[in-house]
Amino acid sequence: MARVAVVTGGTRGIGHAISVALKEAGYIVAANYAGNDEAAAKFKAETGIAVYKWNVASFAECQEGLARIEAELGPIDVVVNNAGITRDGVLHKMSLEQWTQVIDTDLNSLFNMTRPVIEGMRARGFGRIVNISSVNGQKGQMGQSNYSAAKAGLIGFTKAVAQENASKGITVNVVAPGYINTEMVAAVPEPVLQKIIGQIPVGRLGKAEEIARCVAFLASDDAGFITGATISANGGQYLA
């Protein structure tokens, strides 16, 4: 029987590519999204992947959404924590709202999404949790103290939960993308974009599909001996 995989932020950008890659690998995929109904409907029509709307910053909404997926699709074997937002600003001008919105969505969501499913994974003796960090969570980035803190915290969470669940057949890993050619990056002014590309040794932006292939591997049986690891997919921009 096909395994069920949930991808947060799974209808756009990197999440879109991850959802499609997992479906092509044979998983039953549920793609979570937060608010863009039009994009979610288009994604569902194009891919045939089920979509579920809730806010990953809310523990109650995650509990409800995950329970609905399990009732409709079956026990959840794979969780990809991809959802994330930015609210950039230098710290001395950052508002509390900018800070808490990013921490709630990019970091607290890991607890909200993982806690409701981890006991079931332990009982069944199998689970794959893949958390999407960022090169800026590894090296830090000016104007992103909130985002960098959240994405760095994600790596610590991964290492701890990996140790707790390794004996139960559950792996927990990180993929840390560099600058990927998504709508968000494409919106950067051309001079700034060229400066960014100039800092990437391979000389180009990454592709969402390249990140998705990393995730699909970590979700597979072949990756059963890899846990607590961080795969840096950044074109050599930062060597951790």
CATH of the domain at 221: 3.40.50.720
In the predicted model, is pLDDT for residue 33 greater than 90? Answer: yes
Residue 100 lies in a domain: yes
Stretch 112-119: mean pLDDT: 98
Residue 30 lies in a domain: yes
Stretch 161-178: mean pLDDT: 98
Residue 238 lies in a domain: no
Confidence of residue 226 (pLDDT cuts 50, 70, 90): very high
Residue 186 lies in a domain: no
Number of domains in the chain: 1
Residue 185 lies in a domain: no
User: Domain range holding 17?
Assistant: 4-180+207-233
In the predicted model, is pLDDT for residue 86 greater than 80? Answer: yes
Residue 120 lies in a domain: yes
pTM: 0.96
Confidence of residue 183 (pLDDT cuts 50, 70, 90): confident
C-alpha separations of 33 from 20, 30, 43, 77, 233 in Å: 15, 10, 11, 19, 24
Going across the sheet that includes 76-81, the strands are: 50-53, 28-33, 4-7, 76-81, 127-132, 170-177, 230-233
C-alpha separations of 165 from 7, 128, 214, 222, 229 in Å: 20, 10, 21, 18, 14
Return mean pLDDT, the chain. Answer: 96
Q: List, for residues 65-84, the tens digit of each pLDDT value.
A: 999 999 999 999 999 999 99
Q: Which residues are catalytic?
A: 147
In the predicted model, is pLDDT for residue 184 greater than 80? Answer: no
